Amino acid sequence: MPRKKNAKSAAKRRSSSMATTQKLEMDFLKTPTKLTKQLKKEISVAEKKEKKLAKALNKLSMQMKKMEMRMKAEEKNTHTSAGKKQYNISKKAHNELIKSHKMLSKQLEEATQSVASMQETQDKLMALQKHLIQFEKEWEKSAKSAKKVKLKAKAKKKAKMASKPKMKRASPPEPVMQQEEEPMMEVFETATEDTELEETTDITS
């Protein structure tokens, strides 16, 4: 009983291991497609962010130009205390706009690079998926061809074995019958009879 139980447990483990391997193989083959779909979503979000930053940067650039035009007009009145004060306020606001412009420019650059990187990865995954599909087709074709060759070789070997003349098995030698030795009593009786016959002959003669 313990042996039977151990054999069942071993068979169950092998079956479980095979199922796990097959699942891993299927997951591997599906991975590029899953990642491509996930990247598509992420690229969409990143592109929206990129457009939003680009729009904000463009708006900021227009504000800077307006501010620069105002500063040029106010610069003419810097000879007065009020004019100089207004010019300094505009200049400070312009400097803040420059800082914001630099920050947004950096964010936009990073967003653009991120989108480009994700798109490149997506292209790689799509190419990988195509290669995997092609590989599966070629592997299946190759496996079928190898199976046919194997079956042909097996059939050829079987036919060769069948065509060989069968060697007759030598029949075992017949057992030699040993002659049974005559009992010593019969020999003794014969010898006695011969002696009596000789004695009779002597008396007669």
- Give one DSSP letter per residue of 117-170, joined into a string: HHHHHHHHHHHHHHHHHHHHHHHHHHHHHHHHHHHHHHHHHHHHHHHSPPPPPP
Intra-chain end-to-end CA distance of the chain, in Å: 97
Measured between alpha carbons, how far is 23 from 16 in angstroms, rounded to an integer? 11
CA 158, CA 131: separation in Å to the nearest integer?
Answer: 40
Could you state, in order of their start, the residue ranges of all structural domains in the chain?
32-143
pTM of the model: 0.56
35 or 165: whose pLDDT is higher? Answer: 35
* pLDDT at site 85: 93
Of the ranges 67-76, 79-88, 135-144, 151-160, which one carries the lowest mean pLDDT score?
Answer: 151-160
Question: Rounded distance, CA 181 to CA 171, Å?
Answer: 30
Residue linked to tokens 């299946």: 140
